[in-house]
Structure 1
């Protein structure tokens, strides 16, 4: 006797692999982390050693000076690396779009390459460039400005700018590709009509290009904000997981990692993760409000 499956079940059967994988590797860790934020637990002691502590993990995180220092570092790096990305990517995308025609895909691919390059390879490359004695950065600064060599990774004043430069270099090409895609959706007829009306290149950019790119700018800025507040790989590899001189490059993600795996406080780490979720959600909402259309409706 053959087992017949009702046809109405087919869609659910087809999507069930994704739902199962999402439940196991996505939903369960999320729910477990939320529950763990209210527990005191060291994994080495076993699952039975969990102890409910209420809001103690959140109180400890919010009164911990190291958390606030890591948050300040994270916000600084997010701003210092994120804002220049868009200030450079937007005009560069406009230039590529107008100047290279069908060849713009080749150039945008070259700018996009750092985004898909291994973080370890990038860290090794820039570790060599920022080398104290033989790095090209120090050599160039000495030749051009007569500056003494800077120990980038061991100087409290230099380690954060070094990390910000690397993050900027890696992600600016990603934003160029975003803006190039958005530029192709703006009708060329608008520019032709503007030329007939006597609009110059700057007026066309300000009145046509920028408003047309507004949804993509919001999307790109939101991605940069979220990525900047979750920054982990670049500073972790460059500083060997220690945060650099005076912990100036220690981000919240790095502090969270150390809280869990160096200090075995998984409850505190989970509380930190949910606090950062709230910070990211708040700043994302403020970003959306800043980009909201403020025109008064008739």
Structure 2
């Protein structure tokens, strides 16, 4: 008996209309409805972030100035002249130093306080919902209203100095060149703490209770369980918190503008974004302001890469 095998059927690539459909399918993906749902947000990112950033890069390399609508004016290419002017400006260099001081205070305080408080609020304590809401209220309260309270507390004749008495700093907090930026950093930490507590509370739900039980069986106390179970368990959330705190801190504007009257005293609390506003809008030099903004973006990206390397790494 002769056994014949079935011939191997080879499919040839589809041509013509089928080929075009295959190419179109590769572009839009297997589930085009997903692309349709994401498209509005992609358009939003392009319009609100990508285009302004690209336009800022263009402005920073030209002698750009404001002109009447419809006016045709020359804006010559000046290469790195705007960046040289920015880096040689003492006020700009001091502003970048100020924001670095801010990040060194705000970043660690934000991570430590939000994690410790989230861990406490995650336990079965009385009035837990009340405390969660209480910590979140300052975050959603208008900055102008909260700033008024802090001005009342930290003015020269404010409540804090009245409590401290002879120990109170002179000059006072917000008019002291050494204490102005640390005071702003503490204020921002307090105001944004509720948001980061919520992030940690969400992360704590993913830490298995079995790990705590195993640590307790091994004789670990509360602090040892916190350090060896909780901290590693919420490492991804810590990476996110550090990155968000860095980005929001680098964009510091409202707080020094309101608390210290525009970066005072003598620029001790000025931030790069505040200087960018003053140079670009108030003084009519958008090319210089754009150069400050691009340098700030580069600095934040470098800090984010460093933080991702050290904070986000796995042991």
TM-score (norm 1): 0.86
Partner of 1:166: 187
Render the CA deviation track for 1:1-55: whole Å, top value 9, x for unaligned: xxxxxxx987766665545544443332222112111111220465624221111
Partner of 2:97: 72
Match of 2:208 among 180, 187, 190: 187
Distance in 2 between the 1:117 and 1:190 partners?
38
Partner of 1:273: 293
Partner of 2:133: 109
Q: Which one has a bigger Cα radius of gyration? A: 2
Distance in 2 between the 1:288 and 1:33 partners?
26
Match of 2:110 among 85, 89, 96: 85
Deviation at 1:175, TM superposition (A): 1.8
The DSSP-based 3-state class of the residue aligned with 2:219 is coil
Contact 2:137–2:194 at 8 Å: present in 1 too?
Answer: yes
Render the CA deviation track for 1:209-244: whole Å, top value 9, x for unaligned: 111011111110111111111111100112232x11
- Comparing 156-165 with 257-266, which one deviates more in the overlay? 156-165
Partner of 1:58: 83
Aligned length: 285
Partner of 2:22: none
TM-score (norm 2): 0.82
Cα 1:191–1:238 shift into 2, 3 Å: same
Contact 2:212–2:225 at 8 Å: present in 1 too?
Answer: yes
- Comparing 257-266 with 47-56, which one deviates more in the overlay? 47-56
Deviation at 1:182, TM superposition (A): 0.9
Deviation at 1:81, TM superposition (A): 2.2
Aligned-residue CA RMSD (Å): 2.5
Distance in 1 between the 2:220 and 2:37 partners?
54
The DSSP-based 3-state class of the residue aligned with 1:168 is helix
Contact 2:101–2:182 at 8 Å: present in 1 too?
Answer: no
Matches within 5 A, 1:17-56: 17-44=40-67, 46=71, 48-56=73-81
Partner of 2:9: none
Contact 2:235–2:312 at 8 Å: present in 1 too?
Answer: no
